[in-house]
Amino acid sequence: MRPAIRLVLVLLAAVGVPAAAFAHAMKVVVEVTADVVRVTVSYDSDDDHGGPVSVKLLDDQKRVIGEAKPDKDGVCTFPRPAAGRYRVVAADEFGHRATREVEVKGDTETTVSAPPDRSRGLMIAVGLGVIAVLTLAGYWIAGRKKG
């Protein structure tokens, strides 16, 4: 195999692997009710592409004050902590991870949603653009005459 073609294939693989790793981002919604902190974990796509999920509730000193595994619907709860700032961290064994900051105030209820879904159309367009640029670069390298 010619070195230029090999280079293009390596570059395509290097670009494609990280994109596959983030194709199914984890989403987290945190709800603070009068009694509990309810965490719902899901993924960008309808498929469950993660492994077993662990959810941690951390205080402002980054100490773990609660840890739970979501049920089959992706939901777990923690007892409502005292007023203050907290962080919810959800992670699975395949590298998906999501973090949400939440402030517990007195007796008020709070909801912290997942960030908006990424535009699939834009993601596809960027991916195809990268492939096109790398392909053209490969043809250019292959077409150069050694001098």
What are the residue ranges spanned by the domains of the chain? Answer: 1-23+118-147, 26-115
Which pTM was predicted?
0.62
**pLDDT given for residue 69 in this prediction:** 93
Longest dimension (CA), the chain: 76
Average pLDDT, the chain: 81
Beta pairing, strands 64-68 & 53-58: antiparallel
Host H or E run for residue 9: helix 3-21
Provide CATH code, domain 26-115. 2.60.40.1930
pLDDT digits (tens, 9 = 90+) for 3-62: 767 776 666 666 655 544 455 678 899 999 989 999 999 887 655 555 688 999 999 999
10-24, 74-88, 100-114, range with the lowest pLDDT: 10-24
pLDDT digits (tens, 9 = 90+) for 18-35: 544 455 678 899 999 989
C-alpha separations of 29 from 36, 37, 111 in Å: 14, 10, 7
Q: What is the mean pLDDT of residues 64-83?
A: 93
